[in-house]
A and B are shown apart, each in its own frame.
Chain A
Amino acid sequence: MNARAWSPPARSSVTLLRPSSLLGALVVILLLLSAVSLSVGRAPLDVGAAIAQWLRGESTLATLVLIELRVPRTVLGVLVGASLGLAGAALQGLLRNPLAEPGIIGVSSCAAFGAVVAFYSGFSLTAPLALPLAGIAGALIAVLLLYALAGREASTLTLILAGVAINGFAGAATALALNLAPNPFAVTEIVFWMMGSLADRSISHLQLAAPLMIVGWVLLLNSGRALDALTLGEDTAASLGVRLGRLRLMLVLGTALAVGSGVAVTGAVGFVGLVAPHLLRPLVGHQPSRLLVASALAGAVLVLAADIAIRSITVGPELKLGVVTALIGAPFFLLLVMRLRRAVI
């Protein structure tokens, strides 16, 4: 019997939807939010007219704002949200820990540190690809470190403590790197790297991050069946034909690629990878393989909705994306902690 042929018994759940209808609903919401995202902004842009002009091949101010500003922002929001949702679901499956999330366990902040070093040293000016690659390297170190500290059968507490330490160290290293950067603006930009933002990102940022991100997605999405088997424990999964070493490698690399390349162009956006899988888990019958795609879609919906909210507030300078996701995600995190406590008692 191999992992592909194996399928766990569906848990009884009153809220269980047919897979296609759940994914269909998420895709419809995502498309609607994308349309809203294209039409929200400071300038009074007639999106319909702009699209018509663009289709006719005209180059006007409206098409410029649409294609160079709003499309990259929307697409990048979708990609980064999907990466975080997907990575959150995959990490929770790999570590069999409900609180695993790229932000909480320090993967995002290590990726930010890598990107900061590549960016402020001027290295990414000469070799643009160095920016996402450095982000990926930072994320990779964090995931490996975490796996070494809290990988096998570790308690939730161990994972969170390891995350606190990694987050603290990466944050301090980022602050140090920004202090040493020659540019006086660098120090104030820690807010961008810690909180994340999609403001004024361009097509070039999208081109840098998207290919590596999608490679990460492929690795993560292909691990679904093995993650299902892993819910029964490592030994059982191994006896079912799951090659654990290969699975870990795929998930570690996939997370690093998806999260690292995203953080390198938008900064670290927290809590998306926590909220998205938890909201969707009951709806997919607690089955990791089905959770992956659903969580990716939900992550994209969350980030897009948060970014639309930010752009709808027209007073003062723009909020950082992580401010909104943390305002929603942190209470959610507390709720989860309380529920876990109750379960333990």
Chain B
Amino acid sequence: MQVAIASGKGGVGKSSVAASLIYLLKDEYSLIAVDADADAPNLDLLFGVESWEEEKELIGAKVAKINTGTCVRCGICAERCPYDCIKIVDGNYVVNELTCEGCGVCRLVCPVEGVITLEEVRSGIIRKTTTKYGFPLISAQLDVGRPNSGKLVTEEKEWAKKIMKEENLEHMIIDSAAGIGCQVIASLGGADVAILVAEPTPASLSDVKRVYKVVQHFREPAYLIINKADLNPGFKGLYEFAEAENIPIIGEIPYDKAIPKSMVMLKPVVETFPDSKASIALKEIAEVIKGEILR
């Protein structure tokens, strides 16, 4: 089974919750963890990963380059770039490599053959390791300033599927990126279940509603976990949303300083502070997941 954990908003505790749930499920099920937040991969830090067994570079992103020696400085490329990536620097037309989408329009409209080329660059890296807890982890890291692409996540999931087949693993747990764009779509696409994490604030509510619309595109069953549940007593928005959309709330985790403390110790909170308020709530959630989702 493929379970994707998403939140829309960043920093609501998606990765912390994911790490703890994976820790609580690892003994009863055979599973693989996928960190699909290639912009800011953090799951390896939460499992104290120190080294990687295997790495694959992902080449394939393209960026345009202008040969200033032969450029006639007509400015057509800058005018036609759909994303305003070409600027004049010291009298020369220059492509900003860090914003270029690699579409190649500049090369097509340039009146002089060979002035503009599209060059392949590395877009990032995908890595695999076996955690000290025994289950494999796949993680990706997008290089800074590269086009954010679902391709990295799709590659990660392909690799994870291969390992699942080879090692006969039952479940893939995916910690997706913040937002609702390509990486999140690649994480949710093909998943059997989406677990949404939100905190009781208007901003988180707004963002979880947005990511839920993406979940609906894929017609996946969704469950909701409320993190930092006691942060904002009197805020009913998440309950109203869950009821209106018929999304089961499978747990509420209170705000607990044990979570940031465990983060600094590079371990899931359920391992470092098993009796903390947060850990008790997480264990109850893991039981619901065992009984209702991973049956």
Whether A associates with B in a native complex is: no
Q: Name B residues whose Cβ lies closer than 8 Å to a Cβ of A.
A: none
Q: Name A residues whose Cβ lies closer than 8 Å to a Cβ of B.
A: none
